[in-house]
Structure 1
C-alpha cells in the first residue's frame, strides 16, 4: 500500500508540473498493461496457430485489424472511468432499469467464468506438458499459484500492476526468442500484414475466430475500474493530462499484445505451414515444435503459455470481482471468488471432457456475452450528460459503431457455425 501511495503522490506532482520527464509519465502506466493480458490469453493460442499453420502469413492483416478495434474499445473504457470516476458495471447499475441490470450481471458473470475456464485450462495444459503431469495436477498447481498472486492485490494497485507487467514482459520475450529461432519469411510476413486476402471460405472462418474473440467482455469492464482511485484529479487540465497518458498507454500496451499475436501466427507459419498445415491444437503444436524447431522452441512456447494462463486467470478473477461489486454493490472474499470461477474447469476435466473442446465452448459463451459491455460502453461515452466535454466526437463514435458492428456480426457468424447453421457466403 505504501508503494501505491508513493505512486499517487508522484502522479500528482507530474500533473502539477513539479515533476517532468519520461520517468514521471511511467507512473501512469498500469491499467492498460493489465487489460492487455486479455489479448494474450490461451484462447488466442489455438486460433493463431491454426491461422499460421493453415495459411502461412496471409491472415496477419486480420490480427492487425482486430488489434485496432481492441485499442479503440479499451481507450473508451478507460475514458469512461477517468471522466466519471465509476466503472462500466457501476454506470450500468445506475442508469439502466433493474431487470436490464440483473440480466447484464448474469450474462457478465457467466462470461467471466467462461473466460477463466479458458485461461485456467491454458495454464494447466502448459504445466502438464512442461512437467509431464496429469492435467488435474497442472490445474491444482495453477490454482495455488493464481491465488498466491491474487493475495498481493491487498498491497495496493501498484504491486499487482508490476506483477502482471512482468508477466507481459515474459510473454513478449518468449515470442521474441521464438522469432529468433523460427525461420520467418519476413517479406511474406510484410505482405500478409499489409495486403488483405481471404484465400477461401475456411480462411474466412479463421478470420471470424480471430476478430470475433478479440474484444473480451471482462477486459472492457475491468479497464474502466482500474483507472479509479489511482490519482486525485483536481481540475480539468489534470483530467485531460490523465486521459492523454491513458490513450498513449493503451496504444503501446495493446500494440505489444498485437505483436505477440502476430508472432504466434508467424511462428506457426514458419514451423507448420509447409507440410503440417492441419496443426490446430496447443498440445499438437508443442509436440511438433521439438522435431521441427528444437526443444528450446518448444520449451519457450510452454513458458509463454503457462505465464499467459496464470496471469490472465488472475486478471479474469479481478474482473469478475469488479463486475459483481459494480452491478450488485457486493464483494466476496477473493478466495471464494477464485474457488467459484475455477470449479467449472475442474468439472470439465473430472467429467473427461476434451480440454481443447472446452476452450472452444468458452469462446462461444464469450461471443454471446460480448454485446453487453460493447453496447453499454458506446451508449455511455456518447452521452453528453455523463461525459460532458469528453463525450465521444462523431468520428470516434462512428468508428466505435463500425467496430462493434464488425465484431458482433462476426461473432454471430461464429455462433452460427458452432451450432451448425449454414451461412451462404461461407459455403464452398
Structure 2
C-alpha cells in the first residue's frame, strides 16, 4: 500500500494544530488545570513541532525528501526535549533551581531549535540578531569599554534560559500560551461563523454612494475587525480580499489600493479591546489590561479617523467620482443589525466582562461560548457545518499563533542578553 506523503503531512498538521487549540481551550475552561510552567513548555513544544512539520527549511526545498526527513528529525527532537522538560521542571523548582548536566545539554538543544524555528517562522533577520546577542556572553570579556563583562559559559546560559522562567519560558511566551492563542481562536471563530461578512456589510452600508467608498469601507471595516482580531496580518487577509477589488474598480491603481489596505490594517493591533502586543505590555509592566485599553482608545480612533480624511482628500485630488450602487440588497439597516446580533452579543459580552474585571482570557472563552450559542439560536440547528466551522476555527487560530510564539520568546531572549540584564546582575 502506498501513501500520499503530502496528504499525510497535511493531516498531521491539522491534528497538531487542533490538539494545541483544544488543549488551551480545555485548560482555560477548567476541564483540567496545569501549572504555568507546564503550559508554557507544552505550548513551545507543540508550536515548534507544528512549524517544523508545516514549513521547509528553505522555500526552494519545499518538496525535497531530504529536507522533509530533516524536518521530521527536528520534530522528534522537539517532542523529546519538550517531554523531558515537562518531566524535570518540577524537580528543579522544588530543589531551589538545582540542575543536572543533562538538563543543561537538553537546554542547549532547545535553544538551537528555537533559533531554527524563529528563522523559519519569522525570518533570517530575527534569527541573526538573536544569534549575535546569544554569543555576546562568550566574547564580552574581550570587548572594550562598557561592552566588557565577565562572561558566562554555555551550560550556565542554557540553564538560565531553559530551566527558569527568565528565558524562553518567560512572560512573553506565557502571554502567547494564554491570551494570544485564545484571542486568535476567538477571531477565527468569528471569521468562520460570518462576522467578517457582517462587518463588511456594515462598513459598506455606511460608505454607500460616497466618494472613494471602497477605501472608506476598508477603513471602517478594518476598524471593526481590528477590535476583535488584534492582528495586522489577519486584518489584511480578511479585509483585503473584499476592499482591494472595490478600490481598483473606483480608479485606484493596484499599488495604491494595496498601500491603503496595508496602512489601515496596521491599526488592527491598536484598536481595543483586542490589541496585539498589549497583553505582553500588561504582563511586563504590571498594569491591568483594562487601563491599557482605556489609554489606547483615543489614539486608535484618531489613527483611523486621520486615515479616513486622508483617503477622502486623495480621492478629491484625483477627482474620483462616487460609483452608484445598485439596490440588490433590500435588507434594511435594522434587519442587518438584527441578523448580526449573533456577533454583536458575544462581542459586547467580551467588552463588558473585561471592563467588569474578568481576566481577558476568561472573557474571551465565555464570549466564544456565547458566540456558538447565538449561532445555534439564529440558525435554529446544529448541523455538520457547525462542527466543521468549529474545527476549522480551532485549527486556524492555533496556526496563526505560530510566528507570534517565536517573536514572544525573543522578547525575553533579547532582554537576557543586553546590558540591562548584565547591570542587574
Which TM-score applies when normalising by structure 1? 0.22
- Considering only CA atoms, is the larger Rg found in Structure 1 or Structure 2? 2
- Highest relative contact order (Cα 8 Å, sep 6+), 1 or 2? 1
